[in-house]
Amino acid sequence: MEHQLINAIETALGWNGVDELGKGFVRGSIDDPALVSRILTPNRLLDIAMRRSLNRPQFRCFQKGEEVHPAIYYTDTVSPRGQSIPMVNMRSLGRLLGEGATLILDQVNVFDPTMEVACRALQWWSHERVQVNAYLTTNDAAGFPLHWDDHDVVIIQLAGEKEWEVRGTSREVPMYRDSDPNNTPTEEIVWAGVMKTGDVMHIPRGHWHQATRNGHGSGKSLHVTFGITKRTGASWLSWLGDWCREHEIFRHDLDRAHGSGTQALTEAAVRLIGERSPADFLAAYEQATALPRHVPFLDILGPLDAVACTTHFPPQIRENAETVDVVTSGKKITLTAKAVPALRLLLSGKPVPLDQAATVVGAEVAEVAEILVKEEMCATLTPELSSGYTGLVTNAVS
């Protein structure tokens, strides 16, 4: 899926594809102010907080370096039937922001169609799962203390300014579950400075960093952090541990007293490693993801006139002599070979208006689209979902 945001990130960071991800710290700037404001604004973030029932830890507020207790900015809204729903008290939240505070909303892609489409595009690009968190800081508020993340991040400054310090790693490629807690920051400063609207930064896994508006007085900062968690050798070995249960030798108890069978067990482990390579694991990883949430198509609500592929990763189209298989999220469907042109269009990741598509690949595109929607590989392009593509992704038949 070609996405304007990915093109802008690659240009800003001087990347020529996904191979640069995780390789080293780099920063740059997006020169298109309209694109930057299109991604997310402070008011859109606050609107999300106002209209939804959010809970800690997904939605948090920090002030003077400490987390504010939710009771200070949450209120239970009671319906006429006595149902209690926790909602953000926007008056209290406004007071905190006026004093200077930092709001954090994790997984904005769950609530906002633009963020959803952006994360999906980054997933198709990286072949890894991606989520995006938003950080709104006002006035003189501090941010998190010096810390490191167990995943690579791409940070985009969307409004205002924020001061950053990025340091090198204390331990090469540290992990969330690791043999070393990695608690001591390195003294090596890779970069220190102010991120301004449109600036982009890539911080690889393990690099220490912190951000603050301390000393910057009145003002604001909004940035989003796209977290991209790549698979590791340890991930592959964990996967092999699940596969070993297929073989009887691994299901037997270990003999503590005599250690019998150790040689046979070792040989079986070597065979298992040879049978299932890291490439096999990466392919299986993409297939293991569940199909995403989407609005179901109901013909009673209106005709199916436009669709978009919403799978977490690009579906595989496998052509045979007289048939074609579509494989994604552990599901496979088989169609006749004449459906290939329609499938390539419908599974492009771009919005597809079916009337326009029919003039390009034939009238059967409508029938193929109905099948893909029924199998949850595509979703009907509601006005809300369509808004996530507008100005960022052209439709497939433009």
| Domains in the chain, CATH or no CATH each | 4-228 (2.60.120.650), 233-288 (no CATH), 299-389 (3.90.930.40)
pLDDT of residue 163: 97
d(CA 345, CA 99): 51
Task: Return the top range by mean pLDDT from 81-85, 295-299, 345-349.
Answer: 345-349
pLDDT of residue 262: 85
Q: Which of 83-87, 242-246, 342-346, 373-377 has the lowest mean pLDDT?
A: 83-87
pLDDT confidence of 56, banded at 50, 70, 90? confident
Burial of residue 361 (number of CB atoms within 10 Å: 0-12, 13-18, 19+): buried
pLDDT of residue 83: 85
Centroid of chain to Cα 50 = 23
Mean pLDDT, rounded, for 60-69: 93
Among 133, 134, 154, 123, which Cα is nearest to 310's?
A: 123
Is 90 exceeded by the pLDDT of residue 257? no
- At 106-124, the pLDDT tens digits run 999 999 999 999 999 999 9
Mean pLDDT, rounded, for 178-195: 96
Mean pLDDT, rounded, for 33-53: 96
Q: What percent of the chain lies above the pLDDT cut of 70? A: 99
d(CA 71, CA 178): 35
DSSP letter (8 states) at residue 172: S
Return the structure tokens found at 158.
């969307």
pLDDT confidence of 260, banded at 50, 70, 90? low
Is 80 exceeded by the pLDDT of residue 390? yes
For residue 307, give the 3-state DSSP assignment. Answer: strand
Is 70 exceeded by the pLDDT of residue 137? yes
Return the structure tokens found at 295.
């609005």
Among 31, 9, 30, 32, which Cα is nearest to 21's?
A: 9
Q: C-alpha dihedral over 379, 383, 389, 395, to 10 degrees?
A: 70
Is 80 exceeded by the pLDDT of residue 259? no
d(CA 150, CA 278): 20
d(CA 361, CA 364): 8
pLDDT confidence of 230, banded at 50, 70, 90? very high
d(CA 44, CA 36): 13
**Half-sphere exposure in the Cβ direction for 213 (13 Å, CA):** 28
Helix (H) or strand (E) holding 262: helix 262-275
Cα(first)–Cα(last) distance of the chain, in Å? 14
Return the structure tokens found at 143.
């941010």
Distances (CA, A) of 110 to 2, 54, 106, 118, 119: 21, 12, 9, 11, 10
Return the structure tokens found at 59.
């939605």
- At 347-367, the pLDDT tens digits run 999 999 999 999 999 999 999
Mean pLDDT, rounded, for 69-74: 95
Contact (CB, 8 A) for 378 and 304: no
Average pLDDT, the chain: 95
Among 77, 30, 60, which Cα is nearest to 136's?
A: 60
Q: Which of 99-108, 130-139, 247-256 has the lowest mean pLDDT?
A: 247-256
pLDDT of residue 256: 80
d(CA 27, CA 210): 15
